[in-house]
A and B are shown apart, each in its own frame.
Chain A
């Protein structure tokens, strides 16, 4: 087994992810809540991953470390920092080279990415002005329902019809949901309405960059089964099941860049 280890670290607004790989593939991963200082977050995530690898004692033992992150949040001690767009693109492309469109739904923003045939980035669009449709939005919604995120995401799958929810503002959406619950509208229908409003937002961004199959969702919200179903219905294309945790896609892509350096 090769002893060369490569690291990728993705400092997100909500969680920080680290992936360590070698020539065999991913051998360790870690997801930790982000702290105020990106350096602390990166350290915590990398330490979490390193502990799981026998041949590694510290971050400096990595042959190469590539950092990425939300906005220009960097991993200060990384050998290189690469845009999260490129990292997500790399990661998704390696999972399936037929992927041409990616929507990354993170803690605080949504990005749509289109890829060229060789996996390089062709275009991108971001919704970073408002939390509507992001991880924060879903956290707020599941709080309103008094449920955990996983429970909430499955709830929409039970609905036979949906209730339209505003997709303009997460604050307004929250008050709208509260008033619907008070009117005894079935929660599953409200949940489906929420998923559809986010799916619509994703669809708009995807169209902006040019929607082509295959399509993948990355970021933590990709684990939201209800959202995946709503988006699949809207775009009329199947969404690829990624072979690794979609939340780790940025860190995985960064680690691949590290390996290729």
Chain B
């Protein structure tokens, strides 16, 4: 009894101490902060909580469409539970203020809302789900126009680690113990682990691709193991040519015909046109945003750029939500532009992320922003050479779907000559006033590793500092968070000769 009372007492005492110290902190904040800043902080906090409530209300409404089956869904697909805890998402705004915070919240709100709808739709209509390997820009629009539901096998793994960096470890381990080589890409291993455990969403068909060696292996695996139709899209290696585009456009038509034969989907060309026109509206807004990112200081940064694109390309390409999101981001950027302020009030360095962002430690970009004044103003997933889709004819739309797929970010790393990977980077550096390149050396990506030396030498010739961070973008066990952050600190201190703006950055 005595020990329980002591535990109870200790708990009450420590809770009281915690409240007391918080109150003291708050009182110090009120005494040392000017009125304007306090008002602005109150508005920021209000906006955050408003967004959180909106997201959860929308999620509950959407999930309620599944009724009690949702409990079985969570049991059958346990990784969906990671999507319930969105704290990691919303903590990304800590330290970000005003319009910049608003832009990130808009991105997160849109992404969270659409995700849940996407799952519910896929769970409720398995006979219409098309499982696609990799980034689905291009395929997504095609499937929607056919009344099908596109589902990328990489989507849930990436979303899960954004929310919980340890979420895919058991799937990676399961894939490895099932025979997948340990040095294979862990993004794909995560998807394969889900697959081996039988936790993948039910689908009517699979579209495989040859974007990279990992995708090819996964494609072979799915072909052997799954009892559902599989079509492999094989894009040409040298894809920036009229001949490649024409040929691959015909392959896309072949895909459409195959889907019509093997699934309930039927192509509605008018619907496809409408979807691409909506996509073009979103792209127009996104390109306007990119134009504004040339300003110094950049009016927005970081998640408002890379995460917004990741979400739109993989979840809602051709959907009105994407257009609305980008238009809001443009408004936010304009607001900052008119005030003559940047997203990052202490912008000292303008960075581009080349290679996919560090999904397990994506808060590192916030850390760099707050500690070292680094604004991430562009990145490789967001960069889009294809631009608008020509919706004037069936042939032009099919050709442009092919172009979207061939120019997908991971594709330019893994196929074609090195120039396809390097030239866009140096073009961005020149046109956006970039003075720092952040490269995540994802351990499973042999293609990117093969070009590491070329990137380094070219950057050295052009006098652009490049920091390469060895990492596994899906697995914290390869390189710890401390190691990544320490390496970046060392780089900023020694190579960039920067003084930190602050000693400690509030954690997320």
Q: Contact residues of A with B, CB < 8 Å?
A: 71-72, 82-83, 85-86, 89, 120-124, 126, 128-129, 208, 210
Contacts and interface: CB of A to CB of B under 8 A. Distances in A.
B46 to A, nearest CB: 37
Contacts of B489: 72, 83
Give the secondary structure class of B's interface.
helix
A71 B486 contact: yes
Interface residue range, chain B: 10 to 19
Contacts of A126: 487
B470 A85 contact: no
Given A121-B495, A210-B460, A83 B490 contact: yes
Interface string B492-505: 01110100000000
B495 A129 contact: no
Nearest to B468: A125
Contact of A121 (B482, B483, B487, B494): B494
A85 B460 contact: no
A83 B487 CA distance: 11
A85 B19 CA distance: 43
B486 A86 contact: no
Nearest to A86: B494
A82 B491 CA distance: 12
Given A72-B486, A208-B456, A210-B460, A86 B493 contact: yes
Contact of A83 (B456, B470, B483, B493): B493
Contact of B495 (A124, A128, A210): A124
7 contacts: A71-B482, A72-B482, A83-B489, A89-B494, A121-B494, A129-B470, A210-B460
Contacts of B482: 71-72
Contact of A124 (B453, B470, B483, B490): B490
Interface of B: 453, 456, 460, 470, 482-483, 486-487, 489-491, 493-495, 497
Nearest to A128: B483
Contacts of A122: 495
B451 to A, nearest CB: 14
Contact of A120 (B456, B491, B497): B497
A85 B456 contact: no
Among B453, B482, B487, B495, chain A packs the most CB atoms within 10 A around the CB of: B495
Contacts of B456: 208
Contacts of B491: 124
7 closest cross-chain pairs (CB), A and B: A121-B494, A85-B494, A83-B494, A83-B493, A86-B494, A72-B486, A83-B490
Nearest to A85: B494
Contacts of B493: 82-83, 86
A123 B470 contact: no
Nearest to B489: A72
Nearest to A122: B495
Given A129-B470, A208-B456, A210-B460, A85 B490 contact: yes
Contacts of B497: 120-121
Among B460, B486, B490, chain A packs the most CB atoms within 10 A around the CB of: B490
Nearest to B457: A210
